[in-house]
Amino acid sequence: MIQPVPVIQPVLRDRPRPRLRDRLKRWWILLLLPLSAGMVLLARSDPALTESLYSSRVYPCFARTLGRLTSFLPFSLLELLVCAALAACVVLALWSLIHKFRVRRSLLQPEESLGLGLLLERVIKLLCCLLFAFVLLCGLNYYRPEFAAFSGLDVRESPPDELAALCTELTLQANALREQVQIGENGVMQLQSSSFQTARQAQEAFGRLAVEYEVLPDLPITPKPVLNSWWMSMLQITGIFTPYTFEANINIAAPDYNIPATMCHELAHSRGFMREDEANFIGYLACRRSDSVDFQYSGIMLALVHSINRLYEVDYDAFMEVNQLMSEGVHLDFADNNAYWARFEGPVAEVSTAVNNTYLRVNNQSDGVQSYGRMVDLLLADYRARQDAVSANSHQL
Together in a domain, 217 and 337: yes
Helix, coil or strand: residue 225: strand
- Residue 266 to residue 202: CA distance in whole angstroms: 10
Domain boundary among 142, 170, 190: 142
Together in a domain, 263 and 369: yes
The length of the chain, given as a count of residues: 397
Instruction: Return the pLDDT at 363.
Output: 62
Domain boundary among 142, 162, 183: 142
Domain boundary among 97, 121, 142: 142
Together in a domain, 97 and 120: yes
Q: Are 381 and 156 a contacting pair, CB within 8 Å?
A: yes
Provide the residue-wise pLDDT of the chain in tens; the chain has 397 residues.
Answer: 445 545 555 544 555 555 656 666 676 788 899 999 999 999 999 999 999 999 999 999 999 999 899 988 888 898 898 888 888 888 877 877 776 666 666 655 554 455 566 677 778 888 889 999 999 999 999 999 999 889 888 888 888 999 999 999 999 999 999 999 999 988 999 999 999 999 999 999 998 998 899 899 888 899 999 998 998 999 889 999 999 999 999 999 999 999 999 999 999 999 999 998 999 999 999 999 999 999 999 999 999 999 999 999 899 999 999 999 999 999 999 999 999 999 988 776 566 656 656 656 666 555 544 444 578 999 999 999 888 777 666 555 5
- Residue 149 to residue 144: CA distance in whole angstroms: 10
Together in a domain, 132 and 235: no
Together in a domain, 112 and 201: no
Together in a domain, 260 and 341: yes
Residue of 254, 211, 208 lying closest to 232 (CA atoms): 254
- CA quadruple 97, 98, 99, 104: dihedral positive or negative? positive
- Residue 230 to residue 301: CA distance in whole angstroms: 23
Together in a domain, 295 and 277: yes
Total of domains in the chain: 2
Q: Are 167 and 311 a contacting pair, CB within 8 Å?
A: yes
Together in a domain, 117 and 176: no
- To which H or E segment does residue 251 belong? strand 247-251
Together in a domain, 152 and 137: no
Together in a domain, 135 and 213: no
Residue 33 domain boundaries? 20-142
Residue of 289, 290, 267 lying closest to 279 (CA atoms): 267
360 part of a folded domain: yes
Rg (CA), the chain: 27
Together in a domain, 169 and 136: no
6 part of a folded domain: no
Helix, coil or strand: residue 64: helix
- Residue 286 to residue 126: CA distance in whole angstroms: 37
14 part of a folded domain: no
Number of Cβ within a 10 Å radius of residue 205:
26
Together in a domain, 183 and 201: yes
2 part of a folded domain: no
205 part of a folded domain: yes
